[in-house]
Amino acid sequence: MDYKYLSELLFPNVTETVEEIEAKYPPRNLPEGAKVTRFAPSPTGFVHFGGMYQAVVDYMLAHQSGGVFFLRIEDTDGKREITGAVEALINTLKYYGMDYDEGMMLENGVLVEKGDYGPYKQSERAGIYAVYAKKLVSEGKAYPCFTTEEEYEALQQVDKKAEIKNIDWHTAAAEKRAAMLAGREFTIEEVKEHLANGDPFVIRILADGDPEKKTKFTDQVKGALEVPENDEDFVLLKSDGIPTYHFAHAVDDHLMKTTHVIRGEDWLPSLPKHIQLFRYLGFKMPKYLHTAQILKTDENGNKKKISKRDMGAKMDDYTMLGYSTNVVWEYLLTLLNSNFEEWRMQNPTTPFREFPFSIKKMAVAGCLFDFDKLNDVAKNVVCRMTADEVYDNTLAWAKVYDPDFAKALESTPEMAKAALSIGRGGAKPRKDFGRWDEVKGYMGFFFDDYYKVVDEIPERFPKEDVRAALTKYIGIYDESDDQTAWFDKIKALAGELGYAPETKLWKKEPDRYKGHVGDVSMFLRIAVTGKASSPDMYEVMRILGRDKVVSRIKAYIDRM
Ligand code: GLU
């Protein structure tokens, strides 16, 4: 068959040559060893946690090697396209500080492209794919298939039918193969007739592989693999000219000079197709990192793939729950590199972006997601923030998710910041909370609107003791006392009421006392904060000021 002629028949409007396109995508001018990576999501309306996991790898590898990280929008599946989805995706990446150098971006709310290797949206690259498809057809490596979508679906169903009806698998596979091979048989006249009728067609690869034969392949994460050759005439271009993932991946990553493809391990089974396609197109294959699936433990303790409906599957979940973007990054790095936590302990204040990321330390198989660990990381990260950072982040979060609390924070920022600085700084900062939605519970009592007595003083303490302690305290509280003088007064007060002024005295002779100084402090704490646990009481009282401390204690006594 005259393949050249066939290609002209199928692509009469394609006049550009592969050489002309290649000339528009020159080698990137980058230092030796620089990695070029890309995040290539489909615009489904949200960023998946698994996507962010890959993007962190993209980011770290490119930026730590002086390379380039770009964003490509893979919108070839028209059925999945949602309006505003690209914008939402970019906003999420931006919010999470997932800074990339090239690709689709938002400028004042308008979608723009940045970089010389675009277009970065696959739906705008149809003309490019057609040129490569035409070339493959002209070389006899691809062919038109006029089988309708439905007929093809039916063909695909053969495997399933075999499974259900228990047909011998070999027979079913042979049937399918026969049908596929039959599709390869056509004459130029038949093609002309189809085209004259306006029949839709797809372009399929003409697979030359023998699945019995294996090719050696090294995945940067999984290590040495044996990959069977591909014998399936898979689709390159759909009838509307839109490429399949496989074809677009090969053409785009070649032209855009991607050096490392980081993608989910669910793409591993497609590797035979990609190896063949790169060979047919004469492209050098990039390096591949197939990342482990994110798993969770279900109610029965079994490990399961995290699903779209699970809390934590979408990045917006973390925003809503009030996790700092830094927390999410540090958690992802904890999952991605087995030595991250150790590094963090040794370098408590170094920005996480400076962590020396290593491909060798990446998880090879299923990586377990769990909220307990995330919360742990959250507390460790948030405790190292300044009060101002905590205030700003909490306020930003509350403006969206808890507007009343936002108003409270804004009403007295100085007090809020002072409250948030208690126990901060120093070698062992307090780890009271890790999420912005926990801040109200932690320090809301500073605001009269949120002050509420939620904890009870245990009944074993006689009411007269509590009343006496609180009443006397009003008389001795002096705002100018330093912390020692302040506590000495509480100790003295305890002694006066028959409570041990030191806990250790009480421990030695518990029968001699009604309780100890800690109990007296607890009376005060509950009266002033409404809660049995709170930040340091000396600081709390100092920030609230005498009037408020006294009025809360008085009100508490009145309600007793
Ligand atoms: N659009 C593909 C996906 O969302 C990208 C896979 C890849 O990174 O190559 O799965």
Per the listing, tokens 């926990």 go with 438
Q: Do 365 and 505 lie in a common domain?
A: no
Distance (angstroms) between ligand 1 centre and the Cα of 363 equals: 19
For position 471, what pLDDT does the model report?
Answer: 97
Q: Is 119 helix (H, G, I), strand (E, B) or coil?
A: coil
Residue bearing the CA closest to ligand 1, atom 9? 263
Q: Do 469 and 544 lie in a common domain?
A: yes
Would residue 252 count as lying in a domain? no
Please check the confidence at residue 82 and state whether its pLDDT lies above 90. Answer: no
Where does the pLDDT of residue 157 fall: very low under 50, low under 70, confident under 90, or very high at 90 and above? low
Cβ–Cβ < 8 Å for 313, 52: no
DSSP helix, strand, coil percent of the chain (3-state; round to 5):
50, 10, 35
Span 235-294, pLDDT tens digits: 999 999 999 999 999 999 999 999 999 999 999 999 999 999 999 999 999 999 999 989
Cα–Cα distance, 550 to 527 (Å, whole number): 10
DSSP annotation of 436 reads G
Would residue 513 count as lying in a domain? yes
Please check the confidence at residue 127 and state whether its pLDDT lies above 60. Answer: yes
Cα–Cα distance, 354 to 59 (Å, whole number): 11
Residue bearing the CA closest to ligand 1, atom 5? 40
Q: Which atom of ligand 1 is nearest to the CA of 38?
A: 8
Give the total residue count for the chain: 560
Span 478-490, pLDDT tens digits: 999 999 999 999 9
Query: Listing from the earlier edge strand, what are the strands of the sheet with 142-145?
Result: 142-145, 202-205, 235-237
Please check the confidence at residue 156 and state whether its pLDDT lies above 90. Answer: no
Apex 297 CA angle, 380 and 334, nearest 5 = 30
Kindly report the backbone phi and psi dihedral angles of residue 16, in degrees, each rounded to the nearest multiple of 5, phi listed first: -70, 150
Cα–Cα distance, 219 to 217 (Å, whole number): 6
Span 394-416, pLDDT tens digits: 999 999 999 999 999 999 999 99
Distance (angstroms) between ligand 1 centre and the Cα of 40 equals: 5
Where does the pLDDT of residue 500 fall: very low under 50, low under 70, confident under 90, or very high at 90 and above? very high
Q: Do 471 and 555 lie in a common domain?
A: yes
Q: Do 355 and 416 lie in a common domain?
A: no
Would residue 526 count as lying in a domain? yes
Share of the chain above pLDDT 90, in %: 84
Q: Which atom of ligand 1 is nearest to the CA of 263?
A: 8
Cα–Cα distance, 54 to 47 (Å, whole number): 11
Q: Do 334 and 482 lie in a common domain?
A: no
Q: Do 200 and 133 lie in a common domain?
A: yes
Determine the residue of 74, 79, 247, 258 to mutate for testing ligand 1's pocket, defined as the one with the most ligand atoms within 8 A of the Cβ atom: 74
Provide the domain limits for residue 394.
Answer: 387-450
Residue bearing the CA closest to ligand 1, atom 3? 41
Per-residue DSSP letters for 322-353? Answer: TB-HHHHHHHHHHHH-TTHHHHHHH-TTS-GG
Residues with CB under 6 A from ligand 1: 40-42, 74, 249, 261, 263
Q: Which atom of ligand 1 is nearest to the CA of 267?
A: 6
Cα–Cα distance, 235 to 129 (Å, whole number): 13
Per the listing, tokens 């528009």 go with 24
Sign of the dihedral defined by the CA atoms of residues 505, 507, 513, 516, in that order: positive
Residue bearing the CA closest to ligand 1, atom 4? 41
Encoding tokens for residue 539? Answer: 């600081």
Q: Please say which residue of 357, 382, 407 terminates a domain.
A: 382
Question: Would you tell me the crossing angle of helices 517-529 and 537-544 to the nearest 10 degrees?
Answer: 40
pTM (global) more than 0.85: yes
Q: Which atom of ligand 1 is nearest to the CA of 253?
A: 9
Q: Do 7 and 140 lie in a common domain?
A: yes
More confident residue, 11 or 165: 11
Q: Is 456 helix (H, G, I), strand (E, B) or coil?
A: coil
Determine the residue of 57, 245, 260 to mutate for testing ligand 1's pocket, defined as the one with the most ligand atoms within 8 A of the Cβ atom: 245
For position 365, what pLDDT does the model report?
Answer: 81
Give me the CATH number covering residue 365: 1.10.1160.10
Span 186-223, pLDDT tens digits: 999 999 999 999 999 999 999 999 989 999 999 999 99
Determine the residue of 47, 59, 254, 263 to mutate for testing ligand 1's pocket, defined as the one with the most ligand atoms within 8 A of the Cβ atom: 263
Would residue 230 count as lying in a domain? no
Where does the pLDDT of residue 231 fall: very low under 50, low under 70, confident under 90, or very high at 90 and above? very high
Cβ–Cβ < 8 Å for 168, 317: no
Residue bearing the CA closest to ligand 1, atom 6? 263
Q: Which atom of ligand 1 is nearest to the CA of 51?
A: 4
Q: Which residues pair with 228 in a beta bridge?
A: 214
The count of domains in the chain is 4
Q: How far from chain centre, in Å, is Cα 425?
A: 29
Q: Do 176 and 155 lie in a common domain?
A: yes
